[in-house]
């Protein structure tokens, strides 16, 4: 499995959040890695925020910093599902999104 580990900040919040984006494949002609994860991060955050009666964010409210990229084609790169609890945002294959360890 291929994954991108990243940090992100939300507009005026001083906290740094941690995220992981896991998928089976990332094309070699992708946009920059931060742009690659931004759409799903924004989608997940806004779903969570709507559920908690918070205002929605737009792409200008989020800044992403890539920490690592691991391509799963050469060596095993998977972890147990226990690691989901360690991240503020966790996405598996675009469809399963977790905030603070809870499935959205």
* Residue range of the domain that includes 19: 2-103
How high does pLDDT run on average in the chain? 88
16-52: b (≥16 Cβ within 10 Å) or e: ebebbbbbeebeeeeeebbebbbebbbebbeebeeee
Rounded Cα–Cα distance for residues 14 and 96 (Å): 27
Total tally of structural domains belonging to the chain: 1
Q: Are 37 and 7 in contact (CB under 8 A)?
A: no
Rounded Cα–Cα distance for residues 49 and 34 (Å): 21
pLDDT in tens, 28-74: 665 788 888 898 899 999 999 999 999 999 999 999 999 998 876 65
Q: What is the mean pLDDT of residues 75-98?
A: 85
pTM: predicted TM-score of the whole model, two decimal places: 0.87
């Amino acid at each position: 499995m291929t994954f991108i580990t990243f940090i992100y900040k939300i507009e005026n919040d001083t906290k740094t959040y941690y995220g992981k984006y896991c998928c089976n494949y990332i094309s070699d002609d992708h946009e920059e890695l931060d742009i690659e994860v931004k759409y799903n991060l924004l989608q997940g955050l806004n779903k969570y925020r709507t559920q908690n009666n918070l205002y929605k964010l737009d792409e200008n409210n989020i800044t992403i910093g890539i920490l690592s990229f691991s391509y799963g084609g050469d060596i095993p790169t998977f972890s147990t599902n226990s690691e989901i609890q360690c991240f503020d945002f966790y996405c598996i294959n675009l469809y399963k999104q977790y905030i603070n360890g809870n499935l959205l």
